[in-house]
Structure 1
Amino acid sequence: MNTHYAISLFSGAGGLDLGIEAAGFVTRLCTDIDDFSCKTLELNKSRQHGTFLQEATIAQRNIKEYPTEEILKDAGLTREQVDLVYGGPPCQAFSVFGKRQGINDPRGTLLWDYIRVIREIQPKSFIFENVAGILTVDDGRVFEMLKAALETDESGKKCYNLSSALFNTAAYGVPQYRQRVIIYGVRSHEAIPLPVETHYTQPDAPIAGLLPPVTVATAFKGLPDAPSNVIANHIGRVHGPAVIERYKNMGYGERDSKTRINRLDPNKPSYTIVVGSDKGGGKGHIHPFLPREVTPRESARIQTFPDFWEFTGTSRHPIRQVGNAVPPLFAGVIASNLLRYGFGEADAPNYAELVHRLGLSYLE
């Protein structure tokens, strides 16, 4: 496979980055405004257990104050060398859990900084990721404006061919029902096809030719009992007797009226991980077998982060990093599809190869 260089915007804790590098891209710059996310990227880059992000500069910057020329300089790339720019501007402005203010939310304007970088670098391709809520803000007008801006330059000339869809990550082997919008943009190439689903999503409704969904029980396979220092981020919240008693009496799929999280069914994928607000509140769901919330590490398993990927910070910081991320395995599927159809790389990895490259032995 040829070397394809990438730049990551709004990198967070590296979910997209892990998958995109597992597919075969080489990321030369990761940037985010969040201190703990950048520390997580630096920590994991510095370790010698793998090859992820080994060529990447980690830049803690506010994208609104990060000129494109500096982005290229920090990446050590010319415009002509950039094969891919990828990222998902913070989704709070569009999430169904938010106030749905769309572009009136100051964070919504980060969309236009993403567009600015695309227009000024003019990479061979881009991947835009966001929450399902972006499709319906202002009755869909924001999404149509976004696509129109992404496919054109400042003069209105068409530069990119787009393909987009709303994906359920469980259909691609992630042990979690999680909806995400993906937009591909490619230059000098017709719009690429979308990835083909590899798994059916409802355990009791098999589909011929597809694999069964990956379940919570599979995701937790081999984990030591919590709390544990054997593996990073595997210490959870301490619950009082009343909470423990309440959780103990809940059935699979039942929602707790106070915490508004669900008891996981071990025989199904997980519910979407709850991120919480900027002030905290992020949490996993309730363990399928024990009267407690899942630990950040268990949530990371649900998200398909490798066990060696450690999240920095204390208390709410790791779970917010995990919950905000794109599942690396899903990111790998998206990026491999781009390599195959956008760059003609016939040997781009399939699902099983991505699982192996990401070190997800519990899924093999």
Structure 2
Amino acid sequence: MDIKRRHFIGASATALATGALAAPALAQSQPEVKWRLTSSFPRSLDTIYGTAQTFARYVSEATDGRFQIQTFPAGELVPGLQALDAVSTGSVECAQTATYFYTGKDPALAFGTGVPFGFNSRQQHSWWFFGGGAEIINGVLAKYNVTSMPMGNSGCQMGGFFRKELTGVDDLKGLKFRIGGIGGQVLAKLGVVPQQIVPGDVYAALERGTIDAAEFVGPYDDEKLGLVKVAKYYYYPGWWEGGAMMHLVINDKQWNALPKHYQAIVRNAAEAANNWMLAKYDFVNPPALRRLVQQGAELRPFPPSIMEAGHKAAFELYNEIAATNPAFKQALESMTAVRADQLVWWQIAEYAYDSFNIRNRGKS
């Protein structure tokens, strides 16, 4: 056998051996993982629930299909308001939910989604990553064997549909209002009777008169829920949800079992889905609002007396809770400090720019 032939055979054997070793090594670095995600939201709300589906698709694409996350809308695996519990016990690996649904466990969780007269969407995002938000909220969630990260934001919401017109604070007394989170506790101080009802049941409750008013998100989703058919007064702004952040919550054991690069993929996919949700709402809400007005919705700003009373009641409640809850106190102090700086900058830059464009929108 000549030298060239021996060299070729040796090189081929080496290549085959390398290939045989590379395949298992690749498989070890890209293991097959199958998770289930339960959402707190119904399939019909295609932007919110669609964010969970978008996240799952991003993870699959980034891993060549080796990491699959199957998504389930509220009610298919567990009720929407029990999503966190399902993750905590390990019944499912992860969930798409809003942490303010679980203020009964710890009121500090309200700050994860947003509190009345708190941040707007960008400020909330900034606080989470740079103002201590992640550490505070995940510190609370650690007691329930879960960790979380942002995965969506609604932007500033509408105040909801009301069967009767509001002229002042007295009109709130005895009003049965579908509202989630700590906003309901604030409104309760003004005489409202808050009702926490899952999205799929809101229309029926409003139609039957079980409730007098209902808020959900904004025009696009409110149109899907059909609320304009049973209540015509459409109030703004949703001062209890200036930028509601959604979360991906993950069972600690499942999270820690992931390879580090899979954890990075999950974080980046959740962040990309977060941006997808906010961008879509910004695009679909304006035409939906026009359609609702065409269908009979009467737009109304909340009377200034209600806004002022709401603001006063909110910070009274925060101080009451902070007096007995260290995590809530920490979150409140963090939010207040960050928000004070943010608002000064916002007034100089974003607010001034947007206000000019709003005044001149008919000139271009």
TM-score tier, shorter chain, comes to under 0.3
> Whose helix proportion is higher, 1 or 2?
2
Specify the structure having the higher radius of gyration (Cα). Answer: 2
TM-score (norm 2): 0.24
Structure with higher RCO (Cα < 8 A, 6+ apart) = 2
